[in-house]
Amino acid sequence: MTTTETEMFETIRYTADIVLIAAGHVLLIERGWDPFEGMWALPGGHVDVGETSVTAAARELAEETGIFVPVAGLRQVGTFDAPGRDPRGRYVTVAYAATLPQTFAPSAGDDATAARWWPLNDLPELAFDHAAILRVAVGSTA
């Protein structure tokens, strides 16, 4: 391949994120490693081989927070694929949302060093483009 042909191709990684809302709060995880180590983010991660994005969202939520929401309880918020949204390369995420009637105590796991509910009107700075994802999700639940 020529350089021009090589530049036409890029590796795209497929991920799923979840916005879980309860009682005016959103569940966030503190990232355990780079990029954005120590920053707060939506639960989420890579879609595994043979898995759908909605199944990945439910799995990642459970792995990172200990909170289980059935796939049937998730609604798609949108696809986020802007170049540069992740410093590791091209990542395309499908975001999902769910609303619970009350908060449940999270238990950080997997690559999350902490998990906690944050008031929607008092959020920390979020990693990646998660603030934009959250805005879309909250707008879709209003």
pLDDT band at 4 (very low <50, low <70, confident <90, very high): low
What is the per-residue pLDDT for 88? 94
Q: Is the pLDDT of residue 142 over 60?
A: no
3-state secondary structure 54-121: HHHHHHHHHHHHCCCCCHHHCEEEEEECCCCCCCCCEEEEEEEEEEECCCCCCCCCCCEEEEEEEECC
Q: How far is residue 130's CA from residue 6's CA, in Å, rounded to a whole number?
A: 30
Higher pLDDT residue, 70 or 141?
Answer: 70
What would the pLDDT profile of 79-125 be if each residue is shown by its tens digit? 999 999 999 999 999 999 999 999 999 998 877 899 999 999 999 99
User: 41 near 128, Cβ under 8 Å?
Assistant: yes
Kindly report the pTM of this predicted structure. Answer: 0.91
Structure tokens at 124: 């920390």
Q: pLDDT (tens digit, 9 = 90+) per residue, 27-86?
A: 999 999 899 999 999 999 999 999 999 999 999 999 999 999 999 999 999 999 999 999
Q: Could you read off the pLDDT of 122-135 as tens digits, one per residue?
A: 999 999 999 999 99
Higher-scoring residue by pLDDT: 70, 3: 70
- CA atoms of 139 and 105, how far apart (whole Å): 25
- Predicted local distance difference test score (pLDDT) of residue 6: 56
Q: What is the pLDDT of residue 14?
A: 98
